[in-house]
Amino acid sequence: MKYYPHPILAKEGWLYIGLSTVIAILLLMYNFWVALPFILIATFIIQFFRDPPRNIPSDPNIILSPADGKVICIEECQDVYQNTPALKISIFMNVFNVHSNRSPADGVVEQLNYIPGKFVNADFDKASVENERNAMILKLANGDKITCVQIAGLIARRILCYTKVGASLSRGERYGFIRFGSRVDVYLPLNYKPLVSLGQKVKATENILAKLEA
């Protein structure tokens, strides 16, 4: 199954793509070597804002990756947004990853919590509690609740979340975007078993983070 009702170049980047491309073309008409740095900048911006379709596994007992990136944390801890013990899986997105955020499961948005904060390197553990972030609590059909937290990073200064409390999200549905490097933390009930390993590179919706244990 694929869920892809949006442009292959994310709408969040259209202004940046347009301006950088126009500048590069105008300078190219003047001198190639003068234009070259701007061509490279435009190329980088275009690749940053790509938002390709993805295959979406349909097993209702799995939790999908909400973001592209590298798994940097798998641990049991306290979900401070629900005040419950949880399995935490964190994904770090560098500037070369796709930065569209997608729902990790089918569910209803029960709570949204935006918290202003710092912009330390999102690869650091303290980014989870110190950086600007937006937490979404999703209630699944089986009654389980999971928390998905968008976290701004050292370069990222803009968290975008388009869903609302009460909205129903389908797995793989695009619900947000973070510009220029960031992190997503997923908190799951302890009866979910992680299916990823530290350092593993994952793709949003295509990779399975965890599965509900029988």
Measured distance CA(133)–CA(105) in Å, rounded = 20
- Measured CA to CA, the distance from residue 214 to residue 189 in angstroms comes to 13
Using DSSP bridges, classify how beta strands 145-152 and 159-161 pair: parallel, antiparallel or unpaired: unpaired
Q: Is 105 helix (H, G, I), strand (E, B) or coil?
A: coil
Instruction: Catalytic residue, from 20, 58, 182, 197: name it.
Output: 182
Catalytic, 170? Answer no
φ, ψ of residue 72 in degrees (nearest 5): -115, -5
126, burial (CB in 10 Å: exposed 0-12, middle 13-18, buried 19+): exposed
- DSSP code at position 11: G
What string of DSSP letters covers 106-158? SEEEEEEEEE--B---TTSTTHHHHB-EEEEEEE-TTS-EEEEEEEE-SS---
Show the tokens assigned to 146: 């999971």
Residues that are catalytic: 182
